[in-house]
Structure 1
Amino acid sequence: MSDGTPFLQQLPHCLESTHFDALGEVMRGKVRDVYRQEERLIMVTTDRLSAFDQVLTTIPFKGEALTRMAVYWFRQTEDIIENHLIDTPDPNVMVVRACKPVPIEIVVRGYLTGSLWRDYQAGRVEEAYGLSLPAGLRKDQRFETPLITPTTKAERGEHDRPIRREEILRTNLVPEAVYESCERAALALFARGQEIAAERGLILVDTKYEFGLADGRVVLMDEIHTSDSSRYWIADTYEERFEAGEDPQMLDKENIRQWLLQRGYQGDGTPPPIPDEVRADLAETYVAAFERITGQRFPLTVGPVEPRIRKNLVATGYLPEP
């Protein structure tokens, strides 16, 4: 990759955090800066990269790619379940309805890979999730039907924890009717995601969903089917590589997880520094995923991000004139 690529040129302009005091109180998550305004939230997706529940660095164009991808998928699935999206005044910004979060994440898995494969190897799947998987399964093997492996929602700097369905209901962490609504919606959303991904020559491998309550109704919130929350594989090489025992071709941030694992990092201690070339390569992956899934061209505009966001928020009335 040459220094002339927009991905390398954008490295000095990555959006690490935002400072829009007039928007209200800000809550900084792993990736998003969220400003609360009574009945709505202004969600600014930064370029921060998290892996193993730790914020590690920034990736050029990442926040814009995630926001554009989430908006695309919200619109592709709004017939399945209501979502919280109200407006998109800037490519990095979503204005959303404030919901009461359901305090778990619903992870849907179509293949035995990632952390579930590591748990399977260690014999921890039943203990962690209450699921009984047969012996002899292989890494990256497809399940006959998708599995749900819920987790708790970790605060920034902490780790998500696997949680069994029985524990969720026994402790009333989530009321049974609400949890069952979340499960049904998650499976329907995953089926839609796999269908659309297949049309693009991709496999939606697994993903996570977050839900909230608005006037007692279950609503999809946060993000959906993005390269941060999901794994995507290239479909036409999957079978051959699986039979050969080779890793699938990936179009998500799993590459950076593997890069970190190869260097002995799993979320504890000091992470290794991530070279600019690796950051730029990952940026290219985020943009390629967006373009392939949506069929839209990504505008690779090099330059500072926060001034553009401020200008657009003023123009749309979310921020006062300076």
Structure 2
Amino acid sequence: MSNTITKTNFNFPGQKDVYHGKVREVYTLENDVLVMIATDRLSAFDVVMPKGIPYKGQILNQIATKMMRDTEDLVPNWLTATPDPNVAVGIACEPFKVEMVIRGYMSGHAAREYKAGKRILCGVAMPEGMKENDAFPEPIITPATKAEMGDHDEDISREDILKRGIVSESDYLQLEEYTKKLFQRGSEIAAKRGLILVDTKYEFGKTKEGKIVLIDEIHTPDSSRYFYSEGYSERQQKGAPQKQLSKEFVRQWLIENNFQGLEGQKVPEMTDAYVASVSERYIELYENITGEIFRKADVSNVLGRIEKNVVEFLNE
């Protein structure tokens, strides 16, 4: 497991700043260039797990960049190049301080809130009489405020976003429109692969010129939940759990081991066998979501490989 990327400390030509997120490390260079490195860190319940997952960063980066290219005719995005399997390069933007979460089905966080008796989520009504994993009559947008380092993201309503001036009304309407378009396209792509895009989140930023663009990741198993289409209806009728393609299996393992990111709780031990099994699940996710065979990049000197590829690209 020593060839996983759990931290980077590069000094690229023209580097001005670096931001270490939960999973990605973002290097800001001169001329509004951003270099985003997808590490192998695994985050659940807003906590970074103690061990990296082999190939996870490559998988996330390659799904996200493929999906950006598959949606760029609908919504402009920040991406300009992918010089390495773990790296995306693009335009520096000022991120909006909200994540646009959209849900086609009542699963995950929405289902947990519903079970607790709530019928309003982020100011949006959820119909009575729903079962976990039922489809909403139409997708609902349930935004979350962007957390500062170490804080949990918080549900927030459209009304509160506008009232608190987090996003202007005209910008917010654009974010909603883009979110619906992306979810529609993501659902169509998923359907071709025998999958259902259940819910996902999108992040947006504004360029120096004032243009709103899609940033970060899109339609990856870290930011999205997928079900298998085959057998979905039968499982719902029986009240059986849905077959999922998402990070939910990690969350379920943590819950079973008494961890939900709450104060005083300890992350359970991640054995090498468990870490390897998570890596295998991520490869399965990649192949199902993209319809392509996953090709493992050479990780014998993974940090050296990334540095060489990025510097060569920048020098071009």
Both proteins in one fold, TM over 0.5: yes
The residue number in structure 2 matching 1:21 is 11
What is the deviation of 1:243? 1.6
| CA–CA distance in structure 2, aligned partners of residues 191 and 168 of structure 1 | 24
Q: Which moved more, 1:220-229 or 1:131-140?
A: 131-140
TM-score, normalization: structure 1?
Answer: 0.92
What is the deviation of 1:125? 4.5
Residue 293 of structure 1: which of 286, 289, 292 is its match? Answer: 289
CA displacement, residues 267-301 of structure 1 (integer Å, 9 cap, x when unaligned): 12321122222222221222222222223221124
Residue 50 of structure 1: which of 43, 49, 56 is its match? Answer: 43
Identity of aligned residues (%): 46
What is the deviation of 1:253? 1.0
TM-score, normalization: structure 2?
Answer: 0.93
| CA–CA distance in structure 2, aligned partners of residues 151 and 240 of structure 1 | 32
| Matched-pair contact (CA < 8 Å) for 2:119–2:127 | no
| CA–CA distance in structure 2, aligned partners of residues 49 and 150 of structure 1 | 23
2:42 is paired with a residue whose SS is: strand
Q: Which letter maps to 1:16? A: T
The residue number in structure 2 matching 1:273 is 269
Equivalent residues in 2 for 1:37-116, closer than 5 Å:
37-38=29-30, 39-56=32-49, 57-116=51-110
Q: Which sections of structure 2, spanning at least 5 residues, go unmatched?
A: none
| CA–CA distance in structure 1, aligned partners of residues 295 and 274 of structure 2 | 21
CA displacement, residues 203-243 of structure 1 (integer Å, 9 cap, x when unaligned): 11100000011111211001110111000111102112222
What is the deviation of 1:123? 2.6
Residue 32 (str. 1) matches residue 24 (str. 2): yes
What is the deviation of 1:124? 3.2
Q: Which moved more, 1:31-40 or 1:46-55?
A: 31-40
CA displacement, residues 168-191 of structure 1 (integer Å, 9 cap, x when unaligned): 111111000100100110011001
Residue 229 (str. 1) matches residue 226 (str. 2): no
Q: Which sections of structure 1, spanning at least 5 residues, go unmatched?
A: 1-10
CA displacement, residues 15-52 of structure 1 (integer Å, 9 cap, x when unaligned): 10112123522110000111111311110110000011
Residue 309 of structure 2: which of 309, 312, 315 is its match? Answer: 312
Q: Which moved more, 1:29-38 or 1:269-278?
A: 269-278
| CA–CA distance in structure 1, aligned partners of residues 257 and 97 of structure 2 | 33
Residue 248 (str. 1) matches residue 242 (str. 2): yes
Residue 208 (str. 1) matches residue 201 (str. 2): yes
What is the deviation of 1:196? 0.8
RMSD value over aligned CA atoms? 1.5
| CA–CA distance in structure 2, aligned partners of residues 42 and 315 of structure 1 | 13
1:19 is paired with a residue whose SS is: coil
CA displacement, residues 250-272 of structure 1 (integer Å, 9 cap, x when unaligned): 12211001111112211123211
| Matched-pair contact (CA < 8 Å) for 2:221–2:246 | yes
What is the deviation of 1:318? 5.3
| CA–CA distance in structure 2, aligned partners of residues 288 and 59 of structure 1 | 14
Residue 197 of structure 1: which of 181, 190, 199 is its match? Answer: 190
| CA–CA distance in structure 1, aligned partners of residues 143 and 315 of structure 2 | 36
Q: 1:59 to 1:134 in 2, by over 3 A?
A: same
Q: Which letter maps to 1:49? A: L
Residue 279 of structure 2: which of 283, 286, 290 is its match? Answer: 283
- Give aligned pairs, total: 308
1:48 is paired with a residue whose SS is: coil
| CA–CA distance in structure 1, aligned partners of residues 47 and 149 of structure 2 | 7
CA displacement, residues 138-179 of structure 1 (integer Å, 9 cap, x when unaligned): 011111210100000112321000001110111111000100
2:7 is paired with a residue whose SS is: coil
| CA–CA distance in structure 1, aligned partners of residues 119 and 271 of structure 2 | 35
